[in-house]
Chain A
Amino acid sequence: MEVSTEYAVQMHGITKLFGSFCALDHVDLDVKKGSIHAVLGENGAGKSTLMNILYGLYQADSGEIYINGKKAEIKNPNTAIGHGIGMVHQHFMLVDNFTVTQNIILGNEVTGKFGIIDTKKAREEIIGIVKKYGLEVDPDAKIEDISVGMQQRVEILKALYRGADLLILDEPTAVLTPQEIEELIEIMRSLISGGKTIIIITHKLKEIKASSDVCTIIRRGHSIDTVPVADVDEEQLATMMVGHAVKLVVEKAPAKPGDVIFEIENLTVKNERGLEAVRNLSLKIRRGEILGIAGIDGNGQKELVEAITCLTRAQSGTIKINGVEIQNTTPRNVIDHKVSTIHEDRQRRGLVLPFTVAENAVIEKYRTPEFTRRGMIDRSRMTGFARRLIEDYDIRPAGCESQPVRGLSGGNQQKVIIAREISNEPELLIAVQPTRGLDVGAVEYVHKMLVRERDAGRAVLLISLELDEIMNVADTIGVIYAGSIVASFPQGKVDENTIGLLMAGGRLNETGSEST
């Protein structure tokens, strides 16, 4: 492609090696000024790597970069910032115990004499940008106290504050609620009209359709195609991304619910700061039923899971599995009562990264007679067990049972957890954000597993911030707001807008709500 000033960015023939692994192989990307340009690809396709090169975090092994038609040498983030490039990273780059203002000005501080930070002036500048683009945030709040959506705004503000003309958003919607996503798209529009250019990376086809002008598809380090978004539909995009046709809808038979085996009554839980995060919450799940809980992050989902798994104390209320109260006991007791949990934070709660896959596979049952005899772990049984899981759940690479789980890709790490939890043959399977950060193929797989477990007669509690996921997978949909289940519906009896409204604290006019 010609080099031209029409383009904000042109990356030509970019190649990047990690060791002997070729993450990018002669990839091209041309982004028109004033456009929203989507980059689409499976997990590990190389999207982040490409953007990190543009932002100067990595150096390409070969290839050229042109900014506004001029060749640019981007050695580090500083030069990128100098070229007017700003990036919002997939994993937020925010210092948790700093304030919003501190995070925004970091590295580019407004100072008076002796390098003293002029917080007042900084705040004013920030408020100026906030006003201009409608990015409402509290400049004095600490990052650890604000919602993920807010945090993302801070990231965008960071870039704008540095005078970015080109904004890279790496999977910005993965953690947002539908409303937040809409707001983000809104913000992106207002940025474009303010003369900025945006590159957005995402797996979510719907959002590409909703937001972008052009889309470049990358598969396994190769650029596949660049298409105007208006000309393609979601199925086509998916096919291009994965290389073969994918089903976007979860296939499942209607639920055949049995007796109630899990029941929460009037549960109240306080969060770390002593506020009631879960308030008088009640719910029931039957055998063979998937209860999906939709809600905006921070409405008590985390505390609910922590209370069920006994990581946190319940202030009041009961949690019963098969009629036995388990609240305020121990995580061990909960596991022994056949509750299995796929935690949202797989690296912190789900896995011991330096342990091998085999060691991780038995973390809840290493003490059972199957694996331990007279205090000694039977290693051959342990690896045998892991090998079976690897085979059954197609965990890659095959034969990884003696490798540290750290070396596995994110998707495969998630598979290890899912395989392990399902292998516990639980009565209740809790899945929290089970597909976070996974690509379409992997998402499909996880959903299939949840449905399979349902069909095997288990109760499934699915908690997700992705409304699509809830709408597609759950048999019963509950909405959590401010620590309570404010409404619940059978699948298909409610539309996304209603749920979105309830999630945001709205009330229903008609009496659509019924209890499970």
Chain B
Amino acid sequence: MFSKLLLLIGITMMYSTPLVFGALGGVVSERSGVVNIGIEGMMTMGAFTGASVSYFTGNPWLGFLAAGVAGGLVALLHAIASVTFNADQTISGIAINLIGPGFALFFCRLLFKDATMTPPVATLPRLFGEDAFAGTPAANLNVDVTVVLGLIATVFIWFILYKTKWGLRIRSVGEHPAASDTLGINVGRTRYSCVLASGVLSGFGGASMTLAIISQFNPTAISGQGFIALAAVIFGKWTPYGAYGACLLFGLAQALTVVLGGSDSGVSIPSQILAMLPYFLTIVVLILFVGRSVAPKADGLPYEKGER
């Protein structure tokens, strides 16, 4: 029983971590007033870059950083469109979701002799070292270091958003850009930074898949996590802790399907029905506990100076 519990925790943590980074990216971007539907595309780019840099350098940390940079570069496109050109942020985000994976696979083919997957790559360490608690149920708690990074990132983003002047400015830009503008806050620059940060975080999210969970990049390494992260942003009411919680809930539901799905679990639900559980549970939790969530007021609205 106890070991089952530890297992649930371990799987929950593992499953939710890429989502956490992606969702944090969404929170940061949307808090500054830029809707980010393109998390999926940014994560894919990060997943690929992380794996390939780790492969070529043998240094997973370098890969992790590079993934952030790659995610940021993709996000730059989104920022140019939605901040500089006041473009429709939804459209731009959808475009990112097409372009990101397109380029990731394209570069992968170029770098790996026309293969769309990398060989196994050096991975990030685990929290207590490779073999800690090996063979005991506690090994489930020896999570990937990215799990902790995700938690740190959550606290960090919360700290930035709610305790520092930058956070105050970011939130003001997302709520009332004109007010920020009259106080000499550069709305465009703030939004640029946030969108880029969003890309960096999403890139980390992608890399925490390929550098911790599966240790290679392949075309399906990121398949839908970006959208779940997007849902987590809304579910979590655009706050770092809320989003983190939503990702955990989703991870937990996945863990439950895993634990209930084994032929020795004593539960006989068709696996297709069981697989619906996380998605179904999300809706139920929304109905029962969460309800309406209100976006930052200026979320999705391009800021045009002097517009009345």
Chains A and B touch each other in the complex, with CB atoms below 8 Å apart: yes
Q: Which residues of A contact B (CB under 8 A)?
A: 52, 55, 57-58, 76-78, 81, 87, 89, 91, 93-98, 102-103, 105-109, 111, 114-117, 158
Count B interface residues, CB 8 Å: 22
| Given pairs A102-B168, A109-B168, 20 additional interface contacts (CB within 8 A) | A57-B182, A57-B306, A77-B184, A87-B182, A95-B171, A95-B179, A96-B297, A98-B168, A98-B171, A98-B172, A98-B175, A103-B179, A106-B172, A106-B185, A107-B180, A107-B184, A111-B164, A114-B164, A115-B165, A117-B164
Partner of A95, one of B163, B175, B184: B175
Q: Is B88 an interface position by the 8 A CB rule?
A: no
Q: Are B184 and A96 in contact (CB under 8 A)?
A: no
Cα–Cα distance between A52 and B305 once the two chains are bound (Å)? 11
Q: Are A52 and B172 in contact (CB under 8 A)?
A: no
Q: Are B168 and A77 in contact (CB under 8 A)?
A: no
Interface string of B162-178 (1 = CB under 8 A from A): 01111011011001101
Complex contacts, A103 vs chain B, CB 8 Å: 179
Cα–Cα distance between A103 and B172 once the two chains are bound (Å)? 9
Q: Are A52 and B306 in contact (CB under 8 A)?
A: yes
Minimum CB–CB distance from B224 to chain A (whole Å) comes to 32
**Given A76-B184, A106-B180, A107-B185, A116:B164 Cβ within 8 A:** yes
Partner of B165, one of A58, A76, A111: A111
Complex contacts, B306 vs chain A, CB 8 Å: 52, 57-58
Q: Are A117 and B165 in contact (CB under 8 A)?
A: yes
Partner of A115, one of B166, B176, B178, B184: B166
Complex contacts, A116 vs chain B, CB 8 Å: 163-164
B residues 141-172 touching A (CB-CB < 8 Å)? 163-166, 168-169, 171-172
Q: Are A106 and B168 in contact (CB under 8 A)?
A: yes
Q: Are A106 and B181 in contact (CB under 8 A)?
A: no
Minimum CB–CB distance from A399 to chain B (whole Å) comes to 24
Complex contacts, A93 vs chain B, CB 8 Å: 176, 178-179, 182-183
Interface string of B285-308 (1 = CB under 8 A from A): 000000000000100000001101
What is the interface of chain B mostly: helix, strand, loop, or mixed?
helix
Q: Are A107 and B164 in contact (CB under 8 A)?
A: no
Complex contacts, A98 vs chain B, CB 8 Å: 168, 171-172, 175
Cα–Cα distance between A89 and B176 once the two chains are bound (Å)? 14
B residues 175-225 touching A (CB-CB < 8 Å)? 175-176, 178-185
Cα–Cα distance between A94 and B168 once the two chains are bound (Å)? 13
Q: Are A106 and B183 in contact (CB under 8 A)?
A: yes
Q: Are B176 and A94 in contact (CB under 8 A)?
A: yes
Minimum CB–CB distance from B79 to chain A (whole Å) comes to 21
Q: Which residues of B contact A (CB under 8 A)?
A: 163-166, 168-169, 171-172, 175-176, 178-185, 297, 305-306, 308
Complex contacts, A91 vs chain B, CB 8 Å: 308
Cα–Cα distance between A93 and B297 once the two chains are bound (Å)? 13
Cα–Cα distance between A94 and B179 once the two chains are bound (Å)? 6
Q: Can you offer 19 A-B residue contacts whose CB atoms are under 8 A?
A: A52-B306, A57-B182, A76-B184, A87-B182, A89-B182, A93-B182, A93-B183, A94-B179, A95-B172, A97-B175, A98-B171, A106-B185, A107-B185, A108-B183, A108-B184, A111-B165, A116-B164, A117-B163, A117-B164
Complex contacts, B297 vs chain A, CB 8 Å: 96
Complex contacts, A76 vs chain B, CB 8 Å: 184
Minimum CB–CB distance from B262 to chain A (whole Å) comes to 47
Number of A-B contacts (CB under 8 A): 70
Q: Are A77 and B183 in contact (CB under 8 A)?
A: yes
Cα–Cα distance between A94 and B175 once the two chains are bound (Å)? 9
Closest B residue to A110 using CB positions = B165
Complex contacts, A77 vs chain B, CB 8 Å: 181-184
Cα–Cα distance between A109 and B166 once the two chains are bound (Å)? 9
Partner of A57, one of B163, B165, B172, B305: B305
User: Which 4 pairs from chain A and chain B are nearest by CB?
Assistant: A107-B183, A78-B184, A93-B179, A109-B165
Q: Are A107 and B176 in contact (CB under 8 A)?
A: no
Minimum CB–CB distance from A51 to chain B (whole Å) comes to 11
Closest B residue to A114 using CB positions = B164
Q: Are A57 and B181 in contact (CB under 8 A)?
A: yes
Complex contacts, B175 vs chain A, CB 8 Å: 95-98
Complex contacts, A105 vs chain B, CB 8 Å: 168
Minimum CB–CB distance from A212 to chain B (whole Å) comes to 24
Cα–Cα distance between A81 and B183 once the two chains are bound (Å)? 8
Minimum CB–CB distance from A102 to chain B (whole Å) comes to 6
Closest A residue to B305 using CB positions = A57
Complex contacts, B178 vs chain A, CB 8 Å: 93
Closest A residue to B294 using CB positions = A97
Minimum CB–CB distance from A311 to chain B (whole Å) comes to 17
Cα–Cα distance between A103 and B176 once the two chains are bound (Å)? 11
Cα–Cα distance between A116 and B171 once the two chains are bound (Å)? 15
Complex contacts, A97 vs chain B, CB 8 Å: 175
Complex contacts, A52 vs chain B, CB 8 Å: 306
Cα–Cα distance between A372 and B164 once the two chains are bound (Å)? 57
Q: Are A115 and B164 in contact (CB under 8 A)?
A: yes
Closest A residue to B296 using CB positions = A97
Closest B residue to A109 using CB positions = B165
Cα–Cα distance between A58 and B178 once the two chains are bound (Å)? 13
Complex contacts, B180 vs chain A, CB 8 Å: 106-107
Closest B residue to A107 using CB positions = B183
Cα–Cα distance between A454 and B266 once the two chains are bound (Å)? 78
Closest B residue to A92 using CB positions = B179
Closest A residue to B166 using CB positions = A115
Cα–Cα distance between A97 and B175 once the two chains are bound (Å)? 8
Most buried by A among B175, B184, B297, B306: B184
Cα–Cα distance between A327 and B10 once the two chains are bound (Å)? 56
Complex contacts, A111 vs chain B, CB 8 Å: 164-165
**Given A76-B184, A81-B184, A107:B169 Cβ within 8 A:** yes
Complex contacts, B181 vs chain A, CB 8 Å: 57, 77
Cα–Cα distance between A91 and B308 once the two chains are bound (Å)? 9
Q: Are A55 and B182 in contact (CB under 8 A)?
A: yes
Q: Are A95 and B183 in contact (CB under 8 A)?
A: no
Closest B residue to A52 using CB positions = B306
Complex contacts, A108 vs chain B, CB 8 Å: 183-184
Minimum CB–CB distance from B124 to chain A (whole Å) comes to 27
Complex contacts, B163 vs chain A, CB 8 Å: 116-117
Cα–Cα distance between A91 and B171 once the two chains are bound (Å)? 20
Minimum CB–CB distance from A103 to chain B (whole Å) comes to 8
Minimum CB–CB distance from A216 to chain B (whole Å) comes to 23
Minimum CB–CB distance from A269 to chain B (whole Å) comes to 22
Cα–Cα distance between A107 and B171 once the two chains are bound (Å)? 12
